[in-house]
Structure 1
Amino acid sequence: MHYGIDVGGTKIELGVFDSQWQRLATWREATPAADGPALLARLAAMVAVADAQGGARGTLGLGLPGVIDAGGRLVAANLPGLRELPLAASLSEHFDRPVAFDNDSRCFILSEVGPGGAAAGERYAFGAILGTGAGGGAIVEGRLLGGHGGLAGEWGHLPLSAAASERYHLPRLACGCGLHGCLERYISGPGLVTLFRHFGGEAERAETWYAAWQAGDPAAELAHRCHVDLIGEALANVTKLLAPAAIVIGGGLSTLPEVVAELPAALGRHLFPGVAMPRVVASRLGAASGVRGAAMLGAGACV
């Protein structure tokens, strides 16, 4: 058996998978985000339950938010209890088996190039998460791209271009990472709400924007056009750097088929003629993809 755990700011999800990466069981528990030792103890308890239920010890992989630096510490994540802990050493103290861990966005694309994924079998692929944040991960020559300092794939922290800022009269907003003008502030779910307000709309959630857009609200339509254009420009930059054969869109906004359908054209507008276009597709595995990718990571699949 193979266990994958997705550790979020509010919930922990553990999935149990067989050798064909079919899910056998899953459950969730609340995340004690501010208390590192309590969080590690909860993870260990969940794994112990999985072992007892399956009658064997499974391999283990963790998907974590934020950036994991070269020293094995968590950076820019909404898990304050883990930020000061050396993860590799701390995890080895709590589990009686090897533990693989990585950014949750990398776990996502690892799953999507696996069996049944939206980019199954691709050796060059990029996973773009559009949810509460905007994370990413890359597969290059069939392997996860980590990079120096663990920053590879963080497309959400590329800067808003001067041309886009001028085109839509957008201010440079402060980002939680400490920088200003990061794309995440404009292209994530909360970012879309920010755009809607910028153009004169009123909303607290992306669902409110969507209802207004469906009703033909001019501010909602302008926010949509700006949003898709910004994503297209960012993914064009990713394409110039990594040349993926497929870009898989995940996160809550990937469930809006109209948004995903417009991205290939938006991407193409920011590429020069003759460039091989990647196919842009929505995640086939949805919210389960990150958990499965963590399990695959723990088993050493495609790494």
Structure 2
Amino acid sequence: MRIGLDLGGTKTSGILMNQNGEILARHRVESPRGDYNATLTMLRDMVTHLAGSKGDDIHVGIGIPGSISPATGLVKNANSTWLIGKPLLQDVTQVLGRPVRIANDADCFALSEAVDGAGAGYRTVFGVILGTGVGAGIVSNGALLNGPNAIAGEWGHNPLPWATAGSDPALPCYCGKSGCIETYLSGPGLAKHHAKTSEEIVPADTIALADSPKRKASLMLYASRLARALSHVINILDPDAIVLGGGLSGIHSLYQDVPALWGKYVFSDSVSTPLLRHMHGPDSGVRGAAWLWPA
């Protein structure tokens, strides 16, 4: 058995999972925003609750909104800024007194969907999260691709391909640059760009309903941007499948519109890459964290 934890900015979810991928127990609590020591205590208490009387030999995997720097061993690139610069892996391992592995939350999503989700049976899976932020993970032959800088799949912080000033005005990104893919394809990004073109200020999930011509136009532009962004992934990685997750993955039209558009940008005479919706929904993150320990 293994425990998977998804450390989010507002909520932290956890599961106890067996070797067959069956979830035996669940637990969810508020994340202690801004308090690193309280975060360690919360993780310890969650593991104690999930493990129960099943012993100390249960391994723990944790998904975080950032990554562990191979150069320093400290957390970097985390939206939960109180984790940045902290030796989280070292501290959690010491607090729990048991083996721990940590990965980026988008990597955990990709791993979950590749092992026994929508991407099961495909050799190379590119798993995308389209939510408050934009991230991705790469799984090849059942294993995560990490890379020497621990940034494999950080696709959201590349510039949007084939952007034009008229239809794709660049907005500043929290990373310090502007025009990043995340600023166009995240939920807040969709809402901001819709407001600039229609003067209608509404959240992304309202736009996704497409109940007006202006909202339909924004969704078609969103599909075009997603098609252009994913065409670069196909040109570089040529994955066997692309799986979408996160709140915006529920926009049903994307699965027809994006493949219909990306052929214009992919350097091939045809594109057979399937664009798939996630299978495990909100469980993908915790399941992937648990799968950081293979059976």
Question: What range describes the TM-score normalised by the shorter chain of this pair?
Answer: over 0.9
**2:257 alignment counterpart:** 262
Shift of 1:57: 4.2
Q: Does 1:229 align with 2:224?
A: yes
What is the alpha-carbon distance in structure 2 between the residues aligned to residue 253 and residue 279 of structure 1?
Answer: 18
The within-5 A match list for 1:20-59 is: 20-52=20-52, 54=54, 57-59=57-59
**2:196 alignment counterpart:** 198
Gaps of 5+ in 2: none
What is the alpha-carbon distance in structure 1 between the residues aligned to residue 220 and residue 156 of structure 2?
Answer: 18
Alignment partner of 1:113: what SS?
A: helix
**1:174 alignment counterpart:** 172
What is the alpha-carbon distance in structure 1 between the residues aligned to residue 58 and residue 36 of structure 2?
Answer: 23
**1:248 alignment counterpart:** 243
Shift of 1:59: 1.6
Alignment partner of 1:164: what SS?
A: coil
* C-alpha contact 2:113 2:119 (8 A) present in aligned 1: yes
**1:9 alignment counterpart:** 9
What is the alpha-carbon distance in structure 1 between the residues aligned to residue 268 and residue 294 of structure 2?
Answer: 39
**1:111 alignment counterpart:** 112
Alignment partner of 2:153: what SS?
A: coil
Shift of 1:62: 0.3
Alignment partner of 1:284: what SS?
A: coil
**1:62 alignment counterpart:** 62
Q: Does 1:81 align with 2:45?
A: no
* C-alpha contact 1:175 1:185 (8 A) present in aligned 2: yes
* C-alpha contact 1:76 1:176 (8 A) present in aligned 2: no
What is the alpha-carbon distance in structure 2 between the residues aligned to residue 136 and residue 200 of structure 1?
Answer: 30
**1:286 alignment counterpart:** 281
Gap change, CA 1:6 and 1:290, over 3 Å in 2: same
After TM superposition, the runs of 4+ consecutive aligned structure 1 residues lying more than 6 A away are: none
What is the alpha-carbon distance in structure 1 between the residues aligned to residue 273 and residue 73 of structure 2?
Answer: 33
Shift of 1:100: 0.5
* C-alpha contact 1:35 1:80 (8 A) present in aligned 2: no
Shift of 1:50: 1.5
What is the alpha-carbon distance in structure 2 between the residues aligned to residue 68 and residue 75 of structure 1?
Answer: 6
What is the alpha-carbon distance in structure 2 between the residues aligned to residue 156 and residue 277 of structure 1?
Answer: 23
Alignment partner of 2:126: what SS?
A: strand
**2:92 alignment counterpart:** 91
Gap change, CA 1:292 and 1:282, over 3 Å in 2: same
Aligned-partner residue type, residue 273 of structure 2: P
What is the alpha-carbon distance in structure 1 between the residues aligned to residue 270 and residue 286 of structure 2?
Answer: 34
Alignment partner of 1:199: what SS?
A: helix
What is the alpha-carbon distance in structure 2 between the residues aligned to residue 4 and residue 267 of structure 1?
Answer: 35
What is the alpha-carbon distance in structure 2 between the residues aligned to residue 151 and residue 159 of structure 1?
Answer: 16
What is the alpha-carbon distance in structure 1 between the residues aligned to residue 67 and residue 254 of structure 2?
Answer: 27
What is the alpha-carbon distance in structure 1 between the residues aligned to residue 198 and residue 66 of structure 2?
Answer: 32
Gaps of 5+ in 1: none
Gap change, CA 1:54 and 1:146, over 3 Å in 2: same
What is the alpha-carbon distance in structure 2 between the residues aligned to residue 84 and residue 291 of structure 1?
Answer: 23
- With normalisation by structure 1, the TM-score equals 0.91
The answer to which of 120-129 and 262-271 deviates more is: 262-271
What is the alpha-carbon distance in structure 2 between the residues aligned to residue 125 and residue 233 of structure 1?
Answer: 18
Report the number of matched residues.
294
* C-alpha contact 1:5 1:61 (8 A) present in aligned 2: yes
The answer to which of 87-96 and 10-19 deviates more is: 87-96
Alignment partner of 2:127: what SS?
A: strand
Shift of 1:261: 2.7
* C-alpha contact 2:106 2:137 (8 A) present in aligned 1: yes
Alignment partner of 1:236: what SS?
A: helix
* C-alpha contact 1:231 1:263 (8 A) present in aligned 2: yes
Shift of 1:172: 1.9
Identity %: 38
